[in-house]
Structure 1
Amino acid sequence: MTYSGAVKVGGPADVHELADLMISKVAVGPMNNNAYLLRCRATGEQLLIDAAAEADTLLGLIGDDGIASVVTTHQHGDHWGALAAVVDTTGARTHAGALDAEGIPVGTDVLVQDGDTIKVGRVELTARHLVGHTPGSIALVYDDPHGHPHVFTGDCLFPGGVGNTHGDPQAFTQLLDDVQHKLFERLPDEAWVYPGHGNDTTIGAERPHLAEWRERGW
């Protein structure tokens, strides 16, 4: 079946099958968060992005193979609600942006900086530090050697705009600048965007609206 990225809380995961990587997307409550399970096809090693909520749902998705790592995209509580339970069960190594780690009440094993590489089996993800939604938010970019890039943006980029900056014009400008320079200027239109909530999009679908977002201020 064709991957759409449209998932609902309580519904099944949607699986995006790439040549070297399988990406399973699931929605969990109560705030309709997306969690992503990445599986290296060559080694079977798995990594979870955002243990947001519903530990049982996430552990069921992970299955008996467990996970080697879990990455928390940022410090907001709706993105780590199930982190303690998932780590306790799997023994996974934890990663988070260096400037957000103190706001996550589960110890961070790896403090992630801009440009750092995080591996899942033979697959490499590149971290991009994006400031504005939180001080230490990170996006993860997989530059698929067999196709277009894939980017997991947490709450920094969605269909229709950047993440919430709570009416702070300085934070908004910083976030839009970072998203523009580190994502839009480095990624092709075909790059697939997996956000922290809601449906997926592409860099190409959002690129024409950057000036509009900057003018409206959110």
Structure 2
Amino acid sequence: MTYTGDVTRGGEPAVRELAGLTVTKVSVGPTDNNAYLLTCRSDGSQLLIDAANDAQTLLDLIGPAGLATVVTTHQHPDHTGALQQVVKETGAASIAGTDDAAGIPVVTGTVNDGDTIAVGDCTLEVIHVVGHTPGSIVLLYREPGGTAHLWTGDSLFPGGVGNTRGNKKNFASLIADVQTKLFDRLPDDTWFYPGHGKDSTLGAERPHLAEWRERGW
């Protein structure tokens, strides 16, 4: 089936085969958080992005192959509800951005801008994006000879950047980081996978950056 990224809580996961990685997207929890299981296609190593809720759903998704790592994109509780149970059941390492680690239930290692995280023989680059929270991170995977892919947490969605709750300083920081570290750096065909809702591409959203700046959210 063609991957669309459309998922609903209790529904079937959406699966996408990339060069090097398989991406499995599932919706969990009462606020329809997205969780993403990345599986290295060469050795089966697995990494989960945001153990947000519905621990048993995530454990079933992980399956007997086990889990090497959980990465939490930011400290908000709707993104960490199943983290402790998933880590306990799988023994996975729990990684988060340094400036958010204190607000996350269990963290075994921290990362900063430019660091890398392995998924088998695949590599994710950490991009620190400040504004939604102080330590929010985005993960970048570049397919060999192909498309760039971003897991953006709640820092970038189709239609705008993440919620900064009317804080002008936080909004200014977030829109600046999203523009300079994502849009200015990566091409239009870059696909991004947000913390809630549907996916999009940088090309689809790029024409609206000035509009987002003007409206202030």
**What's the TM-score bracket when you normalise by the shorter of the two chains?**
over 0.9
Which residue is equivalent to 1:64? 64
Identity %: 64
1:65 and 1:5 map into 2 onto residues whose CA distance is 23
- 1:4 and 2:4 equivalent? yes
Which residue is equivalent to 1:34? 34
- When structure 1 is superposed on structure 2, of 149-158 and 138-147 the one drifting more is 138-147
Which residue is equivalent to 1:159? 158
Which residue is equivalent to 2:49? 49
Which residue is equivalent to 1:87? 87
Which residue is equivalent to 2:113? 114
Q: Could you report, residue by residue, the CA deviation over 1:191-212 in whole angstroms, capped at 9, with x for unpaired residues?
A: 0000000000000000000000
1:94 and 1:29 map into 2 onto residues whose CA distance is 20
Q: Could you report, residue by residue, the CA deviation over 1:129-171 in whole angstroms, capped at 9, with x for unpaired residues?
A: 0000000000000011131100000000000000000000110
Secondary structure of the equivalent of 2:123?
A: strand
Letter in 1 for 2:175: L
1:211 and 1:170 map into 2 onto residues whose CA distance is 17
TM-score by length of 2: 0.99
Letter in 2 for 1:217: G
Asked if the contact 2:3–2:15 (Cα under 8 Å) also holds between the matched residues in 1, the reply is yes
How far off its partner does 1:19 sit? 2.0
Which residue is equivalent to 2:192? 193
**Displacement over 4 Å in runs of 4+:** none
How far off its partner does 1:29 sit? 1.4
Asked if the contact 2:130–2:174 (Cα under 8 Å) also holds between the matched residues in 1, the reply is yes
Secondary structure of the equivalent of 1:64?
A: helix
Root mean square deviation of aligned Cα: 0.5
Asked if the contact 2:37–2:49 (Cα under 8 Å) also holds between the matched residues in 1, the reply is yes
2:24 and 2:159 map into 1 onto residues whose CA distance is 23
Q: Could you report, residue by residue, the CA deviation over 1:12-52 in whole angstroms, capped at 9, with x for unpaired residues?
A: 10001012100000000111000000000001000000000
Letter in 2 for 1:210: L
2:97 and 2:174 map into 1 onto residues whose CA distance is 15
- 1:178 and 2:177 equivalent? yes
Secondary structure of the equivalent of 2:47?
A: strand
Q: Which runs of 5+ in 2 are unaligned?
A: none
Q: Which runs of 5+ in 1 are unaligned?
A: none
Where does 1:93-112 land on structure 2 (aligned, <5 Å)? 93-106=93-106, 108-112=107-111
TM-score by length of 1: 0.99
Secondary structure of the equivalent of 1:2?
A: coil
1:56 and 1:110 map into 2 onto residues whose CA distance is 24
Secondary structure of the equivalent of 2:65?
A: coil
Letter in 1 for 2:122: V
Which residue is equivalent to 2:216? 217
1:8 and 1:74 map into 2 onto residues whose CA distance is 22
Which residue is equivalent to 2:14? 14
